[in-house]
Amino acid sequence: MTKGHVHKLEISDLSLELDGRTILDGISLDIHHGETVCILGGSGAGKSMLLRTIVRLHEPTKGRILLDGEPVTAMDPSTLRRRVSLVQQSPAMLEGTVEDNLRFGLELAGIEPGVIKERIDASLKAAALDEGFLGRRAEKLSGGERQRVAIARAHTLCPEVFLLDEPTAALDPRRMMEVERAIKGLKGDANFMMIIVTHDVEQARRLGDRTVLMRRGRIIAEGDSGSLIEDLDPEERALYMGELVYMEHEHKEGDLNE
Ligand SMILES: Nc1ncnc2c1ncn2[C@@H]1O[C@H](COP(=O)(O)OP(=O)(O)O)[C@@H](O)[C@H]1O
Ligand SMILES: [Mg+2]
């Protein structure tokens, strides 16, 4: 299928307040077609809320989010969410098989029946899953498998922007690598841009062309995934690494904003 794609996602001076609390505070970030940006930060930094605000699950208090110059607030939410696909941290599966899960969105989007199977196969392949997955019961999948199916499911609708929220949180190293392989598979075709939220410095290095560090609703540094952390001043770096490690141990229950 040929279609246009977003050249630029532009977030400017974005703030979000909820119940009188500042959740996002003056976020500015530009992402270009073909690029993968990792957002790295400890628990409560605002990473998930940023992704959710991009797809209008929350309306910004201030600032703008533009897709090729068009404010997302001017777009119909369902059209926006087809163009910008958010894969949540614990993706929900519909009852039925993996194939049912992949088919559902395509049918809903009115894709011709003749094309559906082709799209499903292409998405399986893109997410490095083999055909054997199609007949599996979705509710019986392991966490890592579910995550990979969720990635394939998002891919079926050819989004122009992929947002992945902690795609490997709570997975063991082998399963984490399988999910990363699925993500790299997606990057291979790269007719889109991707934002991956993580609290894993090494993962940001492996997957990101660029990394953004978030803390308390703000972006505190931005740059090359390889060198970003080293470039922080020592105190900031120690604090930062501590928060990320803390997050691992607390299993994301902590909230560093409190
Ligand atoms: N629905 C909500 N209403 C109000 N505050 C929220 C809501 N969801 C999250 N928060 C708060 O927003 C802040 C950022 O949360 P979140 O984006 O989930 O952090 P992260 O994903 O970086 O761990 C936290 O202080 C959290 O308590
Ligand atoms: Mg989160």
Q: DSSP secondary structure string, 110-139?
A: T--HHHHHHHHHHHHHHTT--GGGGGSBGG
Using the CB atoms, write b or e for 80-108: b if 16+ within 10 Å.
bbbbbbbbbbebebeeebbbebbbebbee
The closest-lying atom of ligand 1 relative to the alpha carbon of residue 18 is 4
More confident residue, 158 or 244: 158
All structural domains of the chain, each given as residue ranges with its CATH number in brackets, are 8-92+163-250 (3.40.50.300)
| 71-87 residue pLDDT tens | 999 999 989 999 999 99
More confident residue, 236 or 59: 59
CA of 217 to the centre of ligand 2 (A): 12
Q: In the prediction, which pLDDT does 151 show?
A: 95
Least confident of 11-15, 45-49, 107-111: 107-111
The closest-lying atom of ligand 1 relative to the alpha carbon of residue 247 is 23
With a 6 Å cutoff on the Cβ, whether 60 touches ligand 1 is no
The ligand placed nearest to the CA atom of residue 90 is: 2
CA-CA distance, 79 to 73, in Å (whole number)? 11
> Of 50-54, 183-187, 209-213, where does the model show the most confidence?
50-54
Q: In the prediction, which pLDDT does 112 show?
A: 94
With a 6 Å cutoff on the Cβ, whether 24 touches ligand 1 is no
How confident is residue 252, by pLDDT bands cut at 50, 70 and 90? very low
The ligand placed nearest to the CA atom of residue 45 is: 1
The three-class DSSP label of residue 21 is strand
More confident residue, 214 or 228: 214
CA-CA distance, 33 to 19, in Å (whole number)? 35
With a 6 Å cutoff on the Cβ, whether 255 touches ligand 1 is yes
Question: What is this structure's pTM?
Answer: 0.90
Q: In the prediction, which pLDDT does 258 show?
A: 37
> Of 20-29, 123-132, 162-171, 187-196, where does the model show the most confidence?
20-29
pLDDT higher than threshold 60 for residue 123? yes
CA of 46 to the centre of ligand 1 (A): 6
More confident residue, 78 or 226: 78
Task: Please say whether the beta carbons of 148 and 182 come within 8 A.
Answer: yes
Amino acid at 232: L
More confident residue, 255 or 110: 110
CA of 73 to the centre of ligand 1 (A): 21
Q: In the prediction, which pLDDT does 5 show?
A: 87
Query: Is residue 195 within a helix (H) or strand (E), and if so which, with residue range?
Result: strand 193-198
| 161-201 residue pLDDT tens | 999 999 998 889 999 999 999 999 888 777 889 999 998 88
CA-CA distance, 128 to 124, in Å (whole number)? 6
With a 6 Å cutoff on the Cβ, whether 130 touches ligand 1 is no
Q: In the prediction, which pLDDT does 3 show?
A: 56
With a 6 Å cutoff on the Cβ, whether 53 touches ligand 1 is no
pLDDT higher than threshold 50 for residue 1? no
CA-CA distance, 212 to 185, in Å (whole number)? 22
Closest Cα to atom 17 of ligand 1: 46
